Amino acid sequence: MVRLEGKTAIITGAGRGIGRAIAHKLAAEGASVVVNDLDATPANEVVDEITLSGGKAVACPGSVSAAEFAEQLIGAATQNFGGIDIIVNNAGYGWGNPIQRMTDEQWDAMIDVHLKAPFRILRAAQPVISRAVKAENDAGQVVHRKVVNVSSILGVYGGPVQANYSAAKAGIIGLTKTLAKEWGRYRVNVNGVAFGFIETRLTATTTTTVELDGRKLNIGIDQDHSNSLIGKIPLGRAGTTDEAAGAVAILTYPESDYINGQILVVSGGLEG
Q: What is the CATH number of the domain that holds 128?
A: 3.40.50.720
In a domain, 96, yes or no: yes
**Residues labelled catalytic:** 165
In a domain, 78, yes or no: yes
Q: Measured between alpha carbons, how far is 136 from 123 in angstroms, rounded to an integer?
A: 20
Strands of 153-214, DSSP E: 188-195, 208-212
In a domain, 3, yes or no: no
Find the domain containing 200 and state its range. Answer: 8-266
In a domain, 227, yes or no: yes
Answer whether 169's CB lies under 8 Å from 194's CB: yes
Report the number of distinct structural domains present in the chain: 1
Q: Measured between alpha carbons, how far is 172 from 148 in angstroms, rounded to an integer?
A: 10
Answer whether 57's CB lies under 8 Å from 37's CB: no
Give the per-residue pLDDT at 217.
Answer: 84
In a domain, 150, yes or no: yes
**pLDDT tens sequence for the chain (272 residues):** 799 999 999 999 999 999 999 999 999 999 999 999 999 999 999 999 999 999 999 999 999 999 999 999 999 999 999 999 999 999 999 999 999 999 999 999 999 999 999 999 999 999 999 999 999 999 999 999 999 999 999 999 999 999 999 999 999 999 999 999 999 999 999 999 999 999 998 888 877 888 888 888 888 888 888 999 999 999 999 999 999 999 999 999 999 999 999 999 999 999 97
In a domain, 79, yes or no: yes
